[in-house]
Amino acid sequence: MSSTAQAARMSAPPGPRPFLPLAVFLAMRRDPLSYMEQMHRQYGDLVSYFPPGRQVFMLFHPDMTQDMLVTRARNHHQGRVMQRSRSVLGNGLLTSEESFHLRQRRLIQPAFHRQRVFGYGRAMLDYTERHQQRWKHGEVLDIHQEMMRLTLRIVGKTLFDTDVEGDSQAIGRALNTFMHLFKFAVLPLSEYMEKLPIPPVLRMKKARAIMDRVIYGFIEERRRSGQDRGDLLSMLLAAEDTDAGSASTRMDNDQVRDECVTLILAGHETTANALTWTLYLLAQHPEISQRLKGELDNVLGDRPPEPEDYPNLKYAEMVFSEAMRLYPPAWGIARTVVEPYEAFGVHFPKNAIVLTSQWITHRDPRWHPDPLRFDPQRWMPEARASRPKFSYFPFGAGARQCIGESFAWIEGVLLLATIARKWKFSVVPETRVELLPLITLRPKFGMKLRIQRH
């Protein structure tokens, strides 16, 4: 070990120092949620360790999360997983950096203004109504699969004005492959392995080819028709960077492809997981499910929800918020230090990884007493105001805060209302629940629940 590395170890915050540095890397890779919990319990809010090649800092206090994501956003680039995802996502919003990222965000933002997202509400509701027409009283469904298909179709319709039903299986399978290759992407040297014709690389290439065929198809069809359909795709194709002021700042097909793949992936998997965990929690808490039904009956009578009902569905929003506290679809956020800095009495050197975790903070009893209890009352305005802002950050914060946050709230609440108005859920012997923390927090064996009409 070099003398600088040794000095870094000695002055670093506490953390595991196993004889073989690879041991911490493997422990984190095997079961990141339990490993972070153990680190937090054992060492406190600021933990450091040294897997091969670099230093990692875990930041578990809301003030530290704020510092990392907001105050020092400029000192960081994306973490290793996101950087490695470039082979799939290209240079879209999730993976691009600095001025290019800012420019793309500015161009894409108008598609996500709240008013515009309300306009997507109609499609969200129509698709959900149609989707659940296939459901039968008393059957056991894999709710995770149902939610994935539904949210994928909603993203396809709202952002690309296309019904992806025909392509949804192919897209779904390709996205699934990406997600499962996440563990490969974080391996040391994976950037070199990616050049070899080994099975995970071949699977990744095949998945990418399938996605590309579908997305380039959308783009070419739209360029040919020249039609402005008022959706995200038309906006991306028309967008020009007025600051730079030259025609060359239009996005080419490859850039539009990268943004589209990013939005499809980021825009359906997360919401599908959030809804799946919400319905699972409701299945376990009939009294909360009943109270939600009470609100829906009050607000809606016997008609289906309309987008305009959203602001009145307060309890539905509290239920959705609480489900994302217990099962945050994004369970951690990582960054790489590009500009070294001092904070909290610690030196954060260049190339170190900093990590904050919704999983840990959302379940920390200092901010959320009796943290494992599913209790939507925590989201009453007074209770909410009494907690530190960064004790809950399902959508991240700062320059990279989720661009689809309003979309997700409106979609989550409207879908929940449409579904919970008609159906109640219960766990059955086949319900086997285990967490699968890939890039998002998935249920490992899907989510088998019995559905019954109210």
Q: Which residues are near ligand HEM by CB under 6 A?
A: 93-94, 105, 155, 262-263, 266-267, 270-271, 274, 329-330, 333, 394-396, 400, 402-404, 407-408
Cα separations in angstroms, 424 against 212, 283, 310, 418, 452:
39, 7, 21, 12, 5
Min separation Cβ 239 and ligand HEM, Å: 15
Nearer to ligand HEM (CB atom), residue 27 or residue 261: 261
In the structure encoding, which two tokens stand for residue 135, read together? 């459901």
Helices (H) and strands (E) in the chain, counts: 20, 12
Sheet containing 333-337: give its strands across: 46-49, 56-59, 353-356, 333-337, 76-78
Nearer to ligand HEM (CB atom), residue 51 or residue 404: 404
Which residue number has the CB closest to ligand HEM?
A: 404
Nearer to ligand HEM (CB atom), residue 325 or residue 448: 325
Min separation Cβ 403 and ligand HEM, Å: 5
- Residue 201 near residue 187, CB atoms below 8 Å: no
At residue 48, the 3 state secondary structure works out as strand
- Residue 59 near residue 397, CB atoms below 8 Å: no
Cα separations in angstroms, 123 against 93, 111, 117, 150, 307:
24, 15, 10, 11, 10
Nearer to ligand HEM (CB atom), residue 122 or residue 205: 122
Where on the phi/psi map is residue 332: left (φ > 0), alpha (ψ -120 to 50), or beta?
Answer: beta
Min separation Cβ 161 and ligand HEM, Å: 14
Nearer to ligand HEM (CB atom), residue 15 or residue 394: 394
- Residue 51 near residue 22, CB atoms below 8 Å: yes
Min separation Cβ 318 and ligand HEM, Å: 15
In the structure encoding, which two tokens stand for residue 183, read together? 């563990």
Min separation Cβ 329 and ligand HEM, Å: 4
Min separation Cβ 333 and ligand HEM, Å: 5
DSSP string spanning 338-357?
A: SS-EEETTEEE-TT-EEEE-
Task: Give CA 417 to chain center in angstroms.
Answer: 21
Min separation Cβ 22 and ligand HEM, Å: 26
Min separation Cβ 351 and ligand HEM, Å: 18
User: Which candidate, 215, 132, 133, places its Cα nearest to that of 170?
Assistant: 215
Nearer to ligand HEM (CB atom), residue 408 or residue 417: 408
In the structure encoding, which two tokens stand for residue 246, read together? 């030259």
Residue at 69: amino acid letter: L
The span from the CA of 333 to the CA of 318, in Å, is: 24
Nearer to ligand HEM (CB atom), residue 69 or residue 204: 69
Nearer to ligand HEM (CB atom), residue 141 or residue 266: 266
Nearer to ligand HEM (CB atom), residue 167 or residue 269: 269
Strands 56-59 and 333-337: what pairing? unpaired
Min separation Cβ 201 and ligand HEM, Å: 25
Nearer to ligand HEM (CB atom), residue 288 or residue 333: 333
Min separation Cβ 320 and ligand HEM, Å: 8
Where on the phi/psi map is residue 44: left (φ > 0), alpha (ψ -120 to 50), or beta?
Answer: left
Residue at 128: amino acid letter: T
Nearer to ligand HEM (CB atom), residue 24 or residue 93: 93
Min separation Cβ 356 and ligand HEM, Å: 9
Neighbour-count burial of 134, counting CB atoms closer than 10 A to its CB (0-12 exposed, 13-18 middle, 19+ buried): exposed
